[in-house]
Structure 1
Amino acid sequence: MAKENLPDSMRFIMKWEGGLVDDPDDRGGRTNKGVTQKVYDSWRSRSGQPARDVKQIGDEEVQAIYEGNYWTPAGCDLLRRGLDLAQFDTAVNMGTGRAVRILQEAVGAGVDGQFGPSTKSACDACDLGTALIRYTQIREGLYKRFAQAPGQAKFLKGWMNRLNDLRREVGLPGFERGPEEPDFGDTSYIARIPDLPKGSQLERWD
């Protein structure tokens, strides 16, 4: 439940975030090491640096972006081990706003997309195993929903392989074994899903 869990969590994320991707069907857009061009442009602008191609992103920049854009905003440093990784991985792949809403749904908190004291209390009080099962079920339902959109079906196998590897990593029963190398399914990478617009409700997932 602290920042010291970030390095191990980053190792899991980097297992699934490949190199440069520029697929017109990937709604995340041009991406390198899991960082989209849009996110990289915004981060460099806030840092007072000129824009440049995300292909040139450095490892220190990757670390800073993941911590500042996903780990901290999604409340990962406030969560128990296991739930913090699930939240972090979801924030990276599906956006921090959607990740907070999934977390709130999973632990029985009010779903408003804001990680406040009531959400923290619900996370602290929940049964961790039950919450992780619920969390990953919601995420699976969303992947299956998104795969129905035009051009997105080819990403479903990779999305599910990543999710099942997460289930293995956090110790859910039935997922004790998994491949050593990531299986991206029918593509060579895991597609990024744009975050929910601010104030939007979580999509129906069941």
Structure 2
Amino acid sequence: MARENLPDSMRFIMKWEGGFVDDPDDRGGRTNKGITQEVYNSWRSRIGQPPHDVKHIGDEEVQAIYDGNYWTPAGCDLLRRKLDLAQFDTAVNMGTDRAIRILQEAVGARIDGQFGPATKTACDACDLGMTLVHYTQVREGLYKRFAQAPGQSKFLRGWMNRLNDLRREIGLPGLESIPEGPDFGDMPYIARVPDLPEGAPLERWD
């Protein structure tokens, strides 16, 4: 439950967030090292810098964006080890708001997309093993639902491989034999799930 877990979590993330991709069916758009062009432009604007091609993003910029856009806003600093990685990986692939809602559902907190004191209390009190199982089940259900959207079925195998690797990494039983190397499935990368609009239901896809 501390910032020192971020480097190990980053290693897991970067295993799955490879190089530059620009697939018209990937709702994230132009993406490099898991950072979309839109996110990169927004971050550079906040620090007073002009837009820049995400294809040429620097490693220090990647680290700063993962920390400032995903790790901290998703509440990962406040979570126990293993749950922090699950939350971080979900925030990166599915958006911070959706990750918080999945977390709230998994711990039985009010689902509002805001990581407040009540969510923190529920996370502290939860049974970690049961929460991790429930958390990953919710995420699996969303992937299967999203794969039904036009052009998205080709990403399901990669999404599930990433999720099962996360399950192995956090020690859920029955997944010990899953290889540590990334298997992107039917595509050469893992597609990003669109961010959840404010107030939208968890399963919304657009």
The TM-score normalised by the length of structure 2 is 0.98
Match of 1:147 in 2: 147
Match of 2:4 in 1: 4
Match of 2:200 in 1: 200
In structure 1, how many angstroms separate the alpha carbons of the residues matched to 2:123 and 2:68?
21
Aligned-residue offset at 1:201: 2.3
**SS of residue paired to 1:137:** helix
**SS of residue paired to 1:118:** helix
Tell me which amino acid in the other structure corresponds to 1:186: D
Tell me which amino acid in the other structure corresponds to 1:67: D
In structure 2, how many angstroms separate the alpha carbons of the residues matched to 1:175 and 1:106?
20
**Residues 113-163 of structure 1, C-alpha deviations (whole Å, 9 max, x = no match):** 110000000000000000000000000000000000000000000000000
Match of 1:76 in 2: 76
Match of 2:25 in 1: 25
Tell me which amino acid in the other structure corresponds to 2:105: E
Paired residues of 1:18 and 1:32 also in contact (CA < 8 A) = yes
After TM superposition, the runs of 4+ consecutive aligned structure 1 residues lying more than 6 A away are none
Match of 1:124 in 2: 124
Paired residues of 1:44 and 1:51 also in contact (CA < 8 A) = yes
In structure 2, how many angstroms separate the alpha carbons of the residues matched to 1:41 and 1:182?
28
Paired residues of 1:21 and 1:31 also in contact (CA < 8 A) = yes
Could you tell which deviates more after superposition, 172-181 or 4-13?
A: 172-181
Aligned-residue offset at 1:180: 3.2
Match of 2:156 in 1: 156
Aligned-residue offset at 1:177: 2.1
In structure 2, how many angstroms separate the alpha carbons of the residues matched to 1:55 and 1:117?
39
In structure 1, how many angstroms separate the alpha carbons of the residues matched to 2:82 and 2:180?
20
Could you tell which deviates more after superposition, 176-185 or 159-168?
A: 176-185
Match of 1:110 in 2: 110
**SS of residue paired to 1:167:** helix
**SS of residue paired to 1:92:** helix
Match of 1:38 in 2: 38
Match of 2:50 in 1: 50
> Sequence identity, in percent?
83
- The reply on whether 1:95 has 2:95 as its aligned counterpart is yes
Match of 2:186 in 1: 186
Tell me which amino acid in the other structure corresponds to 1:33: K
Aligned-residue offset at 1:179: 1.5
1:168-179 to structure 2, matched below 5 A, reads 168-179=168-179
In structure 2, how many angstroms separate the alpha carbons of the residues matched to 1:19 and 1:45?
23
**SS of residue paired to 2:21:** coil
Tell me which amino acid in the other structure corresponds to 1:47: I
- Structure 1: gaps of 5 or more residues: none
Paired residues of 2:74 and 2:96 also in contact (CA < 8 A) = yes
The TM-score normalised by the length of structure 1 is 0.98
Match of 1:135 in 2: 135
Tell me which amino acid in the other structure corresponds to 2:52: R
Q: Between Structure 1 and Structure 2, how many residues are aligned?
A: 204
In structure 2, how many angstroms separate the alpha carbons of the residues matched to 1:2 and 1:194?
28
- Structure 2: gaps of 5 or more residues: none
